[in-house]
Amino acid sequence: TDSNSQPLYWKVTNPTLSPTHLQENSKSGLPPKDVERFVFVIQGSAVLSNNSGISHKLPVDSYAYLPANVEHTLKCDKTATLIIFERRYVILEDHYPEQIIGSTDKQPLLETPGEVFELRKLLPTSAPYDFNIHIMDFQPGEYLNVKEVHYNQHGLLLLEGQGIYRLGDSWYPIQAGDAIWMAPFVPQWYAALGKTRSRYLLYKDVNRNPL
């Protein structure tokens, strides 16, 4: 065991940037005060309950958004893999976000002028929401037309496929399971390679003045 008393080579299957693995019969705690939470199920399933007494089963590819300070629990009987985003909510006067539950396949394909990838957004684009989660699909050989530069940050998890990500002047071969953080203003570009579809999940801060 290492100094953290984990088994030898433990980091290989539990790397720093891996999604959270919920053990069987586990139950979540709450985020800190004023922190919103987004949960997306990658493997297994979880049950979301809140004060209303209504429970929702979240299978693979489904997700939930919990506004800040909304009490809830996530439970799972068997092991589950979830990706979770939490951030301090930025209040906008007279706008109130609501709990959202959905699944990727029920979200409509959106227009992507000048681009070929398929785009779905998991949250409403309206002002109460200070971030969104995009699901982006590329067929092998497809790539971003625009070399993007923008103030928004991204957290990315490659859900399927493989390709090459350009960040500034660095080029990274990536495959399903890899995660990327893109700082504000980092030039970014992706090309899908291999023989299978690339799909990534992308966090993006929106609807607030970044200054």
Residues at the contact surface with ligand UGY, assessed by CB under 6 A: 134, 136, 148, 154, 188, 202, 204
Spatial distance between the Cα atoms of 25 and 74, rounded to a whole number of angstroms: 11
Nearer to ligand UGY, 148 or 178 (CB): 148
Nearer to ligand UGY, 22 or 130 (CB): 130
202 binds, among Mn ion, ligand UGY, none (CB under 5 to 8 A by kind): ligand UGY
Cβ proximity of 178 and 201 under 8 Å: no
Nearer to ligand UGY, 44 or 163 (CB): 163
Q: What SS3 state is found at 26?
A: strand
Nearer to Mn ion, 31 or 155 (CB): 155
CA 39 to chain centre: 8
Q: In what order do the strands lie in the sheet with 80-88?
A: 20-22, 80-88, 35-43, 62-66, 100-103
In the complex, what is the shortest distance from the CB of residue 130 to ligand UGY, in angstroms, rounded to a whole number? 15
Of 210, 211, 171, 209, give the one whose Cα is nearest residue 193.
171
135 binds, among ligand UGY, Mn ion, none (CB under 5 to 8 A by kind): none
72 binds, among ligand UGY, Mn ion, none (CB under 5 to 8 A by kind): none
Site residues for Mn ion per CB under 5 A: 148
